[in-house]
Structure 1
C-alpha cells in the first residue's frame, strides 16, 4: 500500500527500522488482518481506528485537557517526558520526532508510532484533538477526505459541531484555544 510504504520510507529516513517501529495505521492493519477484529477501547477511538484502517492513514485522538498550550510535531531535545500506558515515564531520544506540548510532555513518540497514556482518550474526556497525517503521493487529497469522513460520522453519531483544518508548510497552525473555547461554549449552553 502506498500509504504504508511512504511511512516506512519516512521511518527509515529517521533511522528507525520500519518493521520494528510501524506507523499506527500499519500496526492496526496488521492486527486486524491477524485477529479479524480490533479491541474495543472507546466509541470515538474505535471509530477513528476503523477510519484509519479504511484509509491506511494514522489517526490519533488526544484529550485536549491533558495538553499544555499548543502541540507541535518536532524533534525531541531528550528532556521531554512521555507517559507509557503502563504508567512508566520515558524520555524520548534527542532528535526523535515527537508530538510535544509547552510543558515538555511528549504526547506521541516516533512520530506516528506510539501515543502517550497521558493524553489518551478516557471516559471523562470532553474535548479532543484528532490528528491524521500522511506522506504518500495522494496525501493532499486523501487526508481531507479522511477528515471529512470523521467529521460526518461525529455529526451523525453524536450531533456535535466539529472544527477542522488541514495543516501544510504554508498554513502550519491550528488554533487549539479556539477549539477549546468552542467546547466551553457548548458545555455552558
Structure 2
C-alpha cells in the first residue's frame, strides 16, 4: 500500500509547539456496512450531552491561540473540530453526508480533534503543511460555481504540488481532494496540540481505524505518528 508521510514545515514548531498528528493511510475496499458512519456520528453527537471529552475546552482554546498566531480570527474561521462542535450544540445533531465522512466527523466531535479526510488519488506529490506565501491557488466553490482563491501570506495551509488542499490549517477543505466513499485511496490526518493527551490521540486513531475496518472489512490501513518534537 501507499503509506503517506506528510511533510511539516519547521516553522510550524514556532507557531504550534508540541504539534503532533496521526497520519492514517487507507487502501479502501468495498463498503459492506455503510451504516457504521451514521451510527458513530449519532453516538458522538449524543455524547456531548454528558459533557464530551475532558480536554475539549482546553484543546479548542489552544487551537484558537495558534490560529491567532498566523493571523486568523478563530471567532470567524475556527478550527474544524470547533466548527463541528458548535453545529452539534446548536442543532443537537449533524446530518449524514457520506459513510466515510460521517465516521471521521464522529471522531472529531467525540475527541474534540480536527480530522481531515482526503482522496489521496487526487494528490500530486506528498501532502505538506506549510506557511503560505500568498501566491498559491485554492480551489473552492462560490455561488455554486468552481472558483479559485489564494491564502493570505503567512497563513498555515495544507498543500500538494498543484496547490492548497486545506486553508487556515484545517478550516476549509478544497474541492479537488475532497473525500467520499467511492475513493480507493484515502488519507486521514488527526491533528492535536499538547492540551490533548497523546494517549487520547492514539485512541481516536484506533477508533477511526476500527470503524473503517467494520465498514469495509477488506481495507488495508496503516497509521503513523508525525510532528512530535524532541
TM-score of the superposed pair, with normalisation by structure 1: 0.84
**Following the alignment from structure 1 to structure 2, what is the Cα–Cα distance between the partners of residues 124 and 41?**
13
Partner of residue 226, structure 2: 167
**Following the alignment from structure 1 to structure 2, what is the Cα–Cα distance between the partners of residues 50 and 169?**
25
Count of matched residue pairs = 170
**Runs of 4+ with deviation above 3 angstroms:** none
> What runs of 5+ residues in structure 1 fail to find an aligned partner?
172-189
**Following the alignment from structure 2 to structure 1, what is the Cα–Cα distance between the partners of residues 139 and 185?**
20
Partner of residue 104, structure 2: 48
The Cα offsets for residues 9-41 of structure 1, whole Å up to 9 and x where unpaired, read as 111111222211100010000001111211222
1:169 Cα deviation from its structure 2 partner:
4.2
Asked if structure 2 preserves the Cα contact closer than 8 Å seen for 1:99 and 1:106, the reply is yes
SS at match of 2:158: strand
Between Structure 1 and Structure 2, the one with more strand by share is 2
**Following the alignment from structure 1 to structure 2, what is the Cα–Cα distance between the partners of residues 10 and 165?**
23
Partner of residue 13, structure 1: 69
TM-score of the superposed pair, with normalisation by structure 2: 0.70
Residue correspondence of structure 1 range 79-94 to structure 2 within 5 A: 79-86=135-142, 87-94=146-153
Q: Which moved more, 1:4-13 or 1:81-90?
A: 81-90
Partner of residue 3, structure 1: 59
**Following the alignment from structure 1 to structure 2, what is the Cα–Cα distance between the partners of residues 169 and 36?**
35
1:136 Cα deviation from its structure 2 partner:
3.5
> What runs of 5+ residues in structure 2 fail to find an aligned partner?
1-56
**Following the alignment from structure 1 to structure 2, what is the Cα–Cα distance between the partners of residues 169 and 4?**
19
Partner of residue 186, structure 2: 128
Q: Tell me, yes or no, if structure 1 residue 116 matches structure 2 residue 174.
A: yes
